[in-house]
Structure 1
Amino acid sequence: MKHDVLSLAKRFYSCEEVNFLSTITNTEAQRKEFVKLWTLKEAYVKALGKGFSASPFNTFSIIKTKESYNLCEAEERIGAWKFAVLELVASSHYATICIEDDYGVGGAPMNVIVHRTIPFLEDELISD
């Protein structure tokens, strides 16, 4: 995957997403963005309560804007979803969140609080 991100993207992603990835010339940045998109798509499919086969990744697009990631599909649910990408410090791991937005586009911001917990030893707030 590391060396052939675009061929995997062409297999699983929408045309819009493949076009976005092809504009990234740095191979490491392209790989990271591929992984972010994958986790965002997984979060959306799980939020719908569907599996990969019931909602193939190439049937909808998640588009990166200047400030966020947004769902772009030919359904009325556009704008009804919020996404958050959490990048774990000093690693190439990401956690993504997808929630239904009851307030619509531009509504209340998502507030995510992250704790690092070692049971019975430590509980440390690591997000702002």
Structure 2
Amino acid sequence: MQDLIAHASAAAGIEPEVAEKAIGAILAFLRKEGPKPDVDELFATVPGAEAAAAAAEHAGAGVLGALMGLGGGLMGLAGRLAGLGLDMTQMEAIGREVFVYAGEKAGEERVRQVAAAIPGLSQFL
């Protein structure tokens, strides 16, 4: 997971701490929106994915998280990432890094299956 954080931080031009939170938010989004069996298999093969998603879910549990999460789906995720101070270009860079990393660990086909099951997500792959 530290490799992913370093690559995402460099790709987006942000601090590693922010990249770590953004990665966690993306993984928590996949956990919430994706098909459970496919996401479970994906997380089982991506080291640190479960812990990062859980940390993001816990961090988003407060009042600010509730306000940021008013929108669901991709718009809700974009709102949460914007709340971390990311612009659209940075969001896309981090998202790309997450999917490349997951593809390397779990296989590109599994990543495509998860993305295809979430409305609008496959356009970013």
Q: TM-score range by the shorter chain?
A: 0.3 to 0.5
Task: Name the structure where strand makes up a greater proportion of residues.
Answer: 1
Question: For the pair shown, which has the larger CA radius of gyration, 1 or 2?
Answer: 1
* Higher fraction of helix: 2
TM-score when normalising by structure 1: 0.35
